[in-house]
Amino acid sequence: MSDQPKPAPKRKSRELSIRSLLPNMVTTLSLCLGLWAIRLGFDGQFEAAVMAIIAATFLDGIDGSLARLLKSTSKLGGELDSLADFLSFGVAPVLVLYSWAFSEGPGLGWIAVLAYSICAAMRLARFNVVMLDDSYDEPLWQKGFFVGVPAPAGAGLVLLPMYLHFSDIFSLSLYPIALSFFIGFVAFMMAGTLPTFSLKKVRLKRKYILMALILVALTVAFLQAHPWVTLSILSLAYLVSIPIACLKFKKMRLQNEVTVGN
């Protein structure tokens, strides 16, 4: 046997590149936008507060993709993303709504706010548990669906009364009880198990790519010209898509059961 000493094990470098931190920086920016929206809501700047939440929703849609693209996914990033989602989409929207419509309204409004935040927390906790369960193998046909309404979509949906108000279509703030029930409805949809479409899993055929790009460009143009009307239409379209997703999910589940049975 050789008497030479074994080389010391290499220590992992404690230095991280800026590139690897970019996804967490985007998530942190989303968190800051949620906090800023709350401040703007308390100051009565409701349109700016809603726009801050919409911007946070956009950032939430790219931080995960950015992490996978840069191969810098981490447990820290996942936990930070979940906490940012809770504040920006589970707390900020309803606090802005409360400042907008319930400052002098009935106690039912505060109950709706609490219910929404609790349902958002339960949804994010359920999602984290599923993501950490290595034994869970999601069937391929289910990958195009979410279980319930995702927190960012819930935040965009619960602000629908404010979109309608800013576009001078209809003001639900005049009916605080109805607004409270609407908030409770969105909270139920987040915590529930109804299937909803997952755009992250959508795959387009090449012949539809140009059409999709044109549709995105038109949506951006309308958002710039008529932001509140466009956001209202998008939110209503998402509501309509939920029963469609349920029917498609049921059909695909039956087809899968037939295939497995054969």
Per residue in 17-75, pLDDT (tens digit) is 666 678 888 889 999 999 999 999 999 999 999 999 999 999 888 877 777 777 767 77
Copy the structure tokens of residue 106.
């009935």
Per the domain annotation, does 14 fall within a domain? no
Residue 155 lies in a domain: yes
Q: What are the start-end ranges of the H helices in 102-150?
A: 108-132
pLDDT of residue 260: 61
Instruction: State how many domains the chain has.
Output: 1
Strands annotated E in 143-188: 145-147
What's the mean pLDDT in 157-179?
90
Q: What does the mean pLDDT of the chain come to?
A: 84
One-letter amino acid at 128 equals N
pLDDT for the residue 234: 94
The yes-or-no verdict on residue 213 having pLDDT over 70 is: yes
Q: Which amino acid is at 138?
A: E
Residue 100 domain-assigned?
A: yes
145 bridge partner residues: 197
**130: containing domain:** 19-261
Q: What pLDDT, on a 0 to 100 scale, did the predictor assign at position 231?
A: 95
88 in any annotated domain: yes
In a domain, 13, yes or no: no
Strands (E), 162-251: 195-197
For residue 1, name the pLDDT band (cuts at 50, 70, 90).
very low
pLDDT tens per residue across span 61-117: 887 777 777 776 777 777 888 899 999 999 999 999 999 988 765 588 899 999 999
Residue 83: count of CB within 10 angstroms of its CB: 14
Q: Give the side-chain half-sphere CA count within 13 A for 261.
A: 6
Q: Which two tokens stand for residue 31?
A: 């968190």
Q: What is the CATH number of the domain that holds 112?
A: 1.20.120.1760
Residue 98 lies in a domain: yes
- Domain presence at residue 11: no
In a domain, 7, yes or no: no
